[in-house]
Amino acid sequence: KKLAVFISGGGSNFKSVHEACFEGLVHGDIVVLVTNKPDCGGAEYAKNKEIPVVLFPRTKDAPDGLSPSDLVAALRRLEVDFILLAGYLKLIPAELIQAYPRSILNIHPSLLPAFGGKGYYGMKVHKAVIASGARYSGPTIHFVDEHYDTGRILAQRVVPVLANDTAEDLAARVLHEEHQLYVEVTAALCEERLIWREDGVPLIQNKE
Ligand code: GRF
């Protein structure tokens, strides 16, 4: 399968999925990296690996960026099957969601539906988890709809929140699981092990 990854930052999830593709753990190819931050660490990595980088969206500060319909056309030209958001901080426009139904995933660093939504990104998520007294946290991979963090949940992992954790400690523990979970889920997508229950809940079938 052909994959597009969208990022705004360091792109450690992007790198771990890319390495898994390279090692053959994921039967997929990242054919394009989409970013709103052309100078971010992940974009540098993509250039080194000769993965095409596309700027999206077009804004006043980024006049070279693509419009939503140009982006859809570019993804179609590249025959992209699945889109993985990995620390992409912009809302995905309706046009893209309609063009790729049930094909766009995001990873979020909390156990959704807790600690999700517009204000919850980066360290803010982990600070809020610690302040709440929650004893567990962990990443969620979910399908993307037109709002932040509300699409159907596909996969989660649980990590403990320890008594003396700083937000940075918890972030590192969650991120470690994110890398494994995104690789596992992407492997399942590429092997066509994703199924949809009649009530609209997505499930991953285990390998035979
Ligand atoms: C991750 O914590 C992810 O859950 C969130 O953004 C962060 C991206 O980290 N959506 P990285 O750029 O993959 O290192």
Interface confidence (ipTM) of the complex: 0.98
Which residue lies with its CA nearest to atom 6 of ligand 1? 87
Q: What is the pLDDT of residues 164-202, one digit of tens each?
A: 999 999 999 999 999 999 999 999 999 999 999 999 999
Measured in Å, residue 13 CA sits from the centre of ligand 1 at 6
Checking if the pLDDT of 208 tops 90, the result is no
- Does the pLDDT of residue 207 top 90, yes or no? no
- Can you tell me which atom of ligand 1 is nearest the CA of 174? 2
Per the annotation, the verdict on 176 as an active-site residue is no
Give per-residue pLDDT as tens, 68-112: 999 999 999 999 999 999 999 999 999 999 999 999 999 999 999
Q: Could you report the per-residue pLDDT of 141-172, keeping only the tens digit for each?
A: 999 999 999 999 999 999 999 999 999 999 99
Contact by Cβ (8 Å): 87, 98? no
Q: Could you tell me if the CB of 86 is within 6 A of ligand 1?
A: yes
Burial (0-12, 13-18, 19+ Cβ within 10 Å), 193: middle
d(CA 95, CA 83): 14
Q: Which of 18, 27, 108, 176 is catalytic?
A: 108
In this prediction, residue 49 has a pLDDT band, given cuts at 50, 70 and 90, of very high
The rounded distance, in Å, linking the Cα atoms of 29 and 2 is 5
Domains of the chain are 2-204 (3.40.50.170)
116 close to ligand 1 (CB < 6 Angstrom): no
> Considering the entire predicted model, what is its pTM?
0.97
- Tell me how far the alpha carbon of residue 11 lies from the centroid of ligand 1, in angstroms: 7
Rounded CA separation 160/204 (Å): 24
3-state secondary structure labels for all residues of the chain: CEEEEEECCCCHHHHHHHHHHHCCCCCCEEEEEEECCCCCHHHHHHHHCCCCEEECCCCCCCCCCCCHHHHHHHHHHCCCCEEEECCCCCCCCHHHHHHCCCCEEEEECCCCCCCCCCCCCCHHHHHHHHHHCCCEECCEEEECCCCCCCCCEEEECCEECCCCCCHHHHHHHHHHHHHHHHHHHHHHHHCCCEEECCCCCEEECCCC
User: Does residue 114 surpass a pLDDT of 90?
Assistant: yes
The rounded distance, in Å, linking the Cα atoms of 186 and 166 is 30
Nearest-angstrom CA–CA distance, 144 and 85: 9
